[in-house]
Amino acid sequence: MEVQEQTEETQQEIANETQPYQGKRQRGGESHNGGGGGGIVLGPRDSLVGKLTTEGDVHVQGTVEGEVTAAGDVWIEDKATVKANVEGRNVQVRGDLEGDLVAKDRLLLAGSGSVQGNVRVRRLAIEDGATLNGNVNMSKGEG
């Protein structure tokens, strides 16, 4: 019986190792957007090159090159550098973003934030000291 249990455990471990990388989950696997997806955190020493698509939230503290699409919210933190097209429900930019941005609901461009690219958004808040270079398209419906 023990041998069989170990074999089943080993098979489960192998199955888990072959699954796509899901990123670091938020504490307790909670999602800030109320949906079924969890949050993905790219820490200060993490980098991503390519395309990231998630049903949850994304917190970027490191570097990203490529494309980020989230059904939830996207946070680009103070020291983060993002050279990518970004799409999310609510987007907060405190770091540097170079690329087009779609915020389906709200964009907060904090005082330390910088966006170099076109923005499509429903609601926009820009703090003193922030930089935005690009075209802004605002609509009453979803971004």
Q: Could you tell me which of 106, 103, 132, 105 has the C-alpha nearest to residue 120?
A: 103
Number of folded domains that form the chain: 1
Residue 3, domain member (yes or no): no
User: Does the residue 124 lie in any domain?
Assistant: yes
For 120, the domain range is: 24-138
**112 in a domain, yes or no?**
yes
Helical (H) or strand (E) element with 3: helix 2-17
Angle at 65 between CA 44 and CA 128, to 5 degrees: 65
The answer to whether position 12 is within a domain reads: no
Secondary structure of residue 71 in the 3-state scheme: coil
pLDDT of the chain along its 143 residues, tens only? 444 454 555 555 545 444 444 444 433 333 333 344 569 999 999 999 999 999 999 999 999 999 999 999 999 999 999 999 999 999 999 999 999 999 999 999 999 999 999 999 999 999 999 999 999 999 886 55
Q: Is residue 7 part of a domain?
A: no
User: 18 lies in a domain?
Assistant: no
Whether 6 is in a domain gets the answer: no
